[in-house]
Amino acid sequence: MIIAVDGPLAAGKGTIAKALARHYGLPHMDTGKLYRSVAYRLLALGKSPDDIVSATQIAHGLSLDGIEDHNLRTAQVGAAASVVAVHPSVRQALYDLQRGFALQPGGAVLDGRDIGTVVCPEADVKLFVSASSEERAGRRLQELLAQGEAISYADMLAQTLERDARDSGRVDAPLRPAEDAHLLDTTGLSIEAAVDKARLIVDHIRLAKS
C-alpha cells in the first residue's frame, strides 16, 4: 500500500504521515528532507540556492544514507529548500530516490508537495493536508522558537505566504491536490484529531478496495 500525503508548509502532513506509517507498519519518507539536504549543502559551501548547476550536482550525489536531520529544520534552510525545489533538474535528480522508496515491497508512506501528482500518481491513498495560513505560520513559529531562532509572527506569516506562492506557482510539479486526493483541513484540530481523521480516510479506502 502506497500512501501519498501532500500539503503546504506546517499543515501537519509530516506528523500525519509518520503516524500513518507507524499505524500500518510501513516505512516513511519525508521527501522535503531531500530538498532541505540539498539546500543545506549548498549553503554550507557558500553557494546560492539559485545556483542550478551546483544544486543539481548535489542532488545527483545525494543518498538516503547520507541525509542527516541536524540543522535541516532552520528557517534559512527551509527558505533555501523552497528555492532549490523550483529547479526542474533538481526535482528530476531526486525523483528516482523517491520512486525507489515508494515501490519497495509492501509499500510506503511519503509526504511532500507532489507525491500524489508526480512521484506516485498510482498511490492507493492520496491525502492533501491543509490549514489556514495564519495557523500554519503560528505552528512554524513555535517550532523555530523552540529551536532558539528569533523570528516574529509577522515575518513568519510573510515567509509562509511567500513559500506558498513559490510552491504553487512553479512550472514543474506545482503544489496542488491530485484530482483524486482526499482533502484534510487541520485548522483548529489537535494532532490526535487530525491523525484520527486521516486514519478514517485510509481505512475507508482500504475497505472499499477489499
Q: Is 185 left (phi over 0), alpha (psi -120 to 50) or beta?
A: beta
Q: 154 a known binding residue?
A: no
- The residues near 142 (Cβ < 8 Å, ≥ 6 apart) are none
- Name the strand (E) or helix (H) holding 4: strand 2-6
Strands (E), 61-203: 108-112, 125-130, 182-185
Is 78 assigned to a binding site?
no
Distance CA 207, CA 151 (A): 45
End-to-end Cα spacing for the chain? 12
Three cell numbers written together for 132: 489556514
Is 13 labelled a binding residue?
Answer: yes
- Annotated binding residue at 116? no
9 in a labelled binding site: yes
- Side-chain half-sphere of 172: how many Cα atoms within 13 Å? 13
32 annotated to bind ligand: no
186 is in an annotated binding site: no
Closest of 86, 103, 51 to residue 173, by C-alpha: 86
14 marked ligand binding residue = yes
Q: Would you say 12 is a known binding-site residue?
A: yes
Going through 38-90 in order, the beta strands assigned E by DSSP cover none
Residue ranges for the known binding site are 7-15
Residue ranges for the known binding site for ATP are 7-15
